[in-house]
Structure 1
Amino acid sequence: MKAYQIKIELAGSEPLIWRRVIMPADATFNRLHDVIQTVTNFKGGYPGAYHLFEFAIPDENIKVTNDEEAYQEHQNFKKNRKAIEAKILDVEPEFEEMARFQLRNLETVIRKPTGIKIDTYLEKYGSVEYMYDYGDGWQFLVTLEKMLDDYHYGYPTLIDGAETAPPEDVGGIPGYYEFLEIYHDEKHPEHEEMKEWANEQLFREYDPEFINRILKFIHYKKTEWDLIDDKG
């Protein structure tokens, strides 16, 4: 089976939080999202969404996202382009630049992550950008390191990585490092409260064996559901 070795890096982390994963080349962007969620401490992967996310392919003006509102807005723009363009550009000269910026955003092609595969874009551009949770604004770079022709498994495998990933809703990179300081300081007055919160968030120190068990479990669970759907 053809597969990709990819490196997933969390921008702004120091020391760098990263994971190296092998995954089947026929994966959708939704599956790539599931993988990123699983190899970190986030909870927005299979079986359900937790926050909005997007993959950016700027060279082709494509955004792949689970943002249904953005998708519907783009569909409406495609159907009514001339009328919407005329309305947006009907402004005073001092607002024209802002109007054209709004128009460029609408021209960005919005794709659903379940309906588009990663192969064409990873092989063509070598990397894609991924953002998770528009509030905390987690930014990742996913880089294709090499292609494999003899991968024997149908599920992704974590093969390397470093550093523990942040929990959900911790407040971005600054919030995460403040969290770690309190979490590891038993004398801090908020230590016990922070530990309790971390448990609620399913926070775990980096554990490759656990991550690989979950990656394998998710693959077989999704396969079971696909078989049920096929049987009606």
Structure 2
Amino acid sequence: MPDIRLRIELLDTDPLVWRRVLVPEQINLHRLHEVIQAAMGWCDCHLFEFECNGRYYGEPDDWSDRPIALARNAKLKTIASRLKDNTFHYLYDFGDDWVHRIVVEETGLAETNPCPRLIDGAMACPPEDIGGPGGFEALKEAVAGRGDEHGEMLLEAVGGHFDPEKLDQEEIDFMLEPIQAGFRRGGRKASERPMPPSVATKLEMESSLKEQGINSIEELMQALQAEIDRSRKG
């Protein structure tokens, strides 16, 4: 089963957030969605959609205003062979609207193991639910000490620390292992490898917030704003 090399770029980010990955050519678009989530650093908690030559692939729902084909029924090999400029797009989170440009850099590569895997990349993925590229810029301004109240709230919502330049290779490799196992090319099972500290910390934070009835950064920001409003009134 030959491999395909892809470059994934998160549009409207500066510096550009990007990843280069190898995937099996027989991968379907639903599995590719899982690879993108792992490689970028997303949490797979929102809807997604691929756009290829004017056709859309994802998970059809009652709110869609256009025909959506099942992503799991579309093979990357077939899609790649029909692209006019070797480029298609992936949209994640219909609220924040994170648009990714995917470039098919090379096809027919020799089979590698493990696969899918990350080859290269740069910059950290934005946190979930921060309001899209505008929120991401506000967060980075806050990290640099130039943030307004909105940016400071975002920074507090993500735990008070965010490194926009950090590419966490260890976490990405860990998150890709279950997908690699599905292609039966060997490699360790995720359960056989210690969980990276960054993954453990993220899970602990999510668990703590859920215990408080907070299920997203948006809800946490609302709680922080309410606390700020109460302090001002006091």
TM-score range, shorter chain: 0.5 to 0.7
Q: How far off is 1:138 after superposition? A: 0.8
Does 1:209 pair with 2:170? Answer: yes
From the two aligned structures, give the one with the greater helix fraction.
1
| Structure 2 unaligned regions, length at least 5 | 190-234
One-letter identity of the residue aligned with 2:47: L
Q: How far off is 1:221 after superposition? A: 7.1
Q: Count residues in correspondence.
A: 182
1:172 corresponds to: 132
Residue deviations 1:166-217 (CA, integer Å, cap 9, x gap): 11111111110111222343998888864552259x9983112321222123
Q: SS in structure 2 opposite 1:68?
A: coil
1:140 corresponds to: 100
Does 1:130 pair with 2:90? Answer: yes
1:191 to 1:144, Cα distance in 2 relative to 1, 3 A:
closer
Q: SS in structure 1 opposite 2:158?
A: helix
Check the 8 A contact 2:35/2:179 in 1, yes or no. no
1:62 corresponds to: 55
2:192 corresponds to: none
Q: How well do the aligned residues superpose, as a CA RMSD in angstroms?
A: 3.1
Q: How far off is 1:134 after superposition? A: 1.1
TM-score normalised by the chain length of structure 2: 0.67
2:76 corresponds to: 118
Work out which of the two has the higher radius of gyration on C-alpha atoms and give 1 or 2. Answer: 1
TM-score normalised by the chain length of structure 1: 0.67
Residue deviations 1:128-187 (CA, integer Å, cap 9, x gap): 111111111111111110124322225311111111111111111111011122234399
CA distance in 2, matches of 1:66, 1:144: 23
2:142 corresponds to: 182
Q: How far off is 1:113 after superposition? A: 1.2
Q: How far off is 1:41 after superposition? A: 2.8
One-letter identity of the residue aligned with 1:110: I
Q: How far off is 1:33 after superposition? A: 0.8
Q: How far off is 1:8 after superposition? A: 0.2
Q: Which stretch has the larger CA shift, 127-136 or 181-190?
A: 181-190
1:55 to 1:183, Cα distance in 2 relative to 1, 3 A:
same
Q: SS in structure 1 opposite 2:38?
A: helix
One-letter identity of the residue aligned with 1:206: L
1:143 to 1:190, Cα distance in 2 relative to 1, 3 A:
closer
